Structure 1
Amino acid sequence: MDFTGKNVLITGASRGIGKATAMAFAKKGAKVGVNYKNNDEAAQMALQELPGEGHHLFKRDISQKEETKALIDDFIKVYGQLDVLVNNAGISIFHELDHVDFDHWTHAWEKTFETNLFAAANLCYWGTKAMMKSGGGHIVNVSSRGSFRGEPTKPAYGASKAALNAMSQSLAKKLAPHHIYVGVVAPGFTETEMAQETLTPAERENLLRESPFKRMARPEEVAHAILFLASEGAAYSSGTIIDVNGASYLR
C-alpha cells in the first residue's frame, strides 16, 4: 500500500489507535492531518514522531457540529484536497442502568452520541463535499466489537457504534457512484495508553481471557486494517466491516 501524495485526516489522532494510524499513513508517504480536542502536549509529541514532511495539527472539538465544517475547511486550506478521512475519535461513559440516576443516564447518551455518531456523520457530510470536488476518496469509520456483542455497562457506546456501522453501509451505497468508498474497522479492546491508565488488574485479566490469542489488539494491528480500507485496491470492499478482535467475538 502506497499513499504517496495522499492527504489524510484522522480524528482523535494524538493517542492510541488514531496515533498509530497516523504513523502508519505517514510511513506510507501520506501527509497527515492530526485532529485532536485539547491535549496540546500529546498532539505535539504525536506530530513530532511522524516520519516525512507536511503533517499538521488541527485542534477542533468535533462534538460541536460547527467545528466539523471548520475542521474540513481548515484541512482544505492547508492541503487543497482531502483523499482519506478516518473517523476515529470516540468516547465511552459508564452508565449502568441499575446504578445511575436519570440525569447521568441521559447525559451519557447525549455526550456519547455527539462524539461517536453525530461528529462522524457531520464529518462524512463535509468531507464528502470536499471529495466530490476532487474526484473521490475513502472514508474509514472506527467502530467497535461492542456494536455487535452489546455493552451492558455502556449501552450508549454500543448503540452509537452500531449506528455508525449502519450509517457507513448506507453511505457506501450512496457514494459509490461518486468514487467515494466507505469502510468500517471494528476493534476489540486495544492496548492503548487509556487502557493502561484505566484498567484494573482484574479487568485486564478478564479481557485477556476473551481471545484465544490471550492478549489485546495492538493499535498498529487496527491501523493496518484502516490502511487496507483506505487503499486504492479496496474500492470494491466498500461497505465492509473488518473485525480486529482476535477471535474474541465471532459473527
Structure 2
Amino acid sequence: MRAVLVTGGSRGIGRAVALEFARGGDRVGVQYAANRADAEETLRQLPGEGHVLLQAELGEPDAAERLVSRAVAELGAVDVLVNNAAVAPTEANRHLVADTPLAEWQRVWRRMVDVNLLAPADLCWAVAHHLIGRAAGGAIVNVGSRGAFRGEPDFPAYGTTKAALHALGQSLAVALAPHGIAVTSVAPGFVATERQAAKLTGAEGERLRAQSPFGRVGTPEEIAAAVHFLASPAAIWASGTVVDLNGASHLRI
C-alpha cells in the first residue's frame, strides 16, 4: 500500500486519478484549493480507508512545502506525487497577444506560471527530499497537455507552462534516477471533464470530437489509467518520457 498525493483532486482528471489509485489499494491525499464540497465528494467515492483531504492554495509562496509536510503527517509518507492541479484555459483568462492589454497579459501569465509551473516544481522538490531522506524510491507523474506541442494561440501562458512542466519532468528524471525515483509526464488532449461539458454540445462538440480519428474526446478515466501505470514499479524504465494521450489528434515526430 502506497501513499499518494494528488493535486487538483476535487473533480475531473484529479478525481479519476484519485479513484484509480484508491481502487488499487493505495491511500490518497486529495489536494483542493477552494471547492471543498467537490473535494469531499471525491473523498466519499474513494474505496478503502486512510484517505485525507488537504486544502492548499498552490499559487501562494511556500504552499507546496507545507502541503507535502501535511501529507506526510496525515498519510505517514508520500510515495507518489501526481501534479495535476493547474489554472486551465477559460473565457476569463483568454489572452491573445494582439488583443490583451499589458496589465491583463501580465496578470494571466503570472498566475499560470505560479500554479502550473512553480508550484509543481516546489512539490517535486519537497517530495524528492522526503523520498531521498527515507532512502525510498517513488514516482512523480506530471499532468501536462497536448497544447505544449501544438501551441495555444488563445492561451499562450497555458501552452508555455505545460511545455515547461514536461521539460521539468525530464530534467528531474535524470537527476532523481540515482535515488530510484521515476519522473514521467502525460500530455492529454481534450478531455470530457465536468468543466468541459458545455463545450461538448452543439457545433463546438462536433468540432472537438472530429479532432481525433476515433471521433470522440478522451475521458478522465483514460488519463487516470495511464497515470496509475506510470507511477507503478513496472513503469520505472519509462522515466523521462512524455506520454501523448490525445487519441491521435496531434502526432509528434
* Short-chain TM bin: over 0.9
Residue 139 of structure 1 aligns with which residue?
140
Distance in 1 between residues matched to 2:205 and 2:85, nearest whole Å = 23
The 5-angstrom pairing of residues 97-112 of structure 1 reads: 97-112=97-112
| Residue equivalent to 1:169 | 170
For 1:110 and 1:197, how far apart are their aligned partners in 2? 27
Deviation string 1:22-50 (CA, Å, 9 cap, x unpaired) is 00000000000000000011011110010
Shift of 1:209: 1.1
Give a deviation string over 1:104-157, Cα, whole Å, max 9, x none.
111111111111101100100111111112212100000000000000100000
**Partners of 2:200 and 2:208 within 8 A in 1:** no
Residue equivalent to 2:14? 18
Instruction: Name 1:194's counterpart in structure 2.
Output: 195
Which 5+ residue runs of structure 1 have no aligned equivalent? none
8 Å contact kept, 1:190–1:216: yes
SS of the residue corresponding to residue 45 of structure 1 reads: helix
Tell me how far apart the structure 2 counterparts of residues 197 and 61 of structure 1 sit (CA, whole Å): 27
Equivalent-residue separation in structure 2 for 1:167 and 1:45 (angstroms): 32
Q: For 1:185 and 1:51, how far apart are their aligned partners in 2?
A: 25
> Partner letter of residue 63 of structure 1?
G
Shift of 1:205: 2.0
Q: String of CA shifts for 1:166-208, please: whole Å, max 9, x gaps.
A: 1100000000001111000110010001101456633322211
CA–CA distance in structure 2, aligned partners of residues 18 and 102 of structure 1: 33
CA distance in 1, matches of 2:201, 2:66: 39
Change (3 A) 1:106 1:199: farther
Letter in 2 for 1:147: A
The 8 Å contact of residues 65 and 122 in structure 1, kept in 2 or not, is answered as no
The match for 1:30 is 26
Q: Which residue in 2 is equivalent to 1:114?
A: 114
Deviates more, 1:95-104 or 1:28-37: 95-104
**1:49-198 alignment runs, 5 A limit:** 49-91=45-87, 92=89, 93-134=93-134, 135-197=136-198
What amino acid is aligned across from residue 142 of structure 2 in structure 1? Answer: N
Amino acid at match of 2:214: F
The one-letter code matched in structure 2 to 1:157 is Y
Matches of 1:236 and 1:211 in 2, distance apart?
29
Per the alignment, in what secondary structure is the counterpart of residue 221 of structure 2? helix
Structure 1 vs Structure 2 CA RMSD: 1.1
Q: Secondary structure of the equivalent of 1:227?
A: helix
Q: Structure 2, unaligned stretches of length 5 or more? A: none
- 8 Å CA contact 1:25–1:32 kept in 2: the answer is yes
Asked if 1:211 corresponds to 2:212, the answer is: yes
TM-score scaled by length of structure 2: 0.95
Q: CA separation in 1, counterparts of 2:192 and 2:177?
A: 34
CA displacement at 1:232 relative to structure 2: 0.5
How far is 1:97 from its partner?
1.3
Letter in 1 for 2:62: E
User: Which shows bigger deviation, 209-218 or 96-105?
Assistant: 96-105
Amino acid of the structure 1 residue aligned with 2:175: K
CA distance, structure 2, for counterparts of residue 73 and residue 235 of structure 1:
25
Identity of aligned residues (%): 47
Separation in structure 1 between the aligned mates of residue 193 and residue 5 of structure 2, nearest angstrom: 20
Distance in 2 between residues matched to 1:36 and 1:130, nearest whole Å: 21
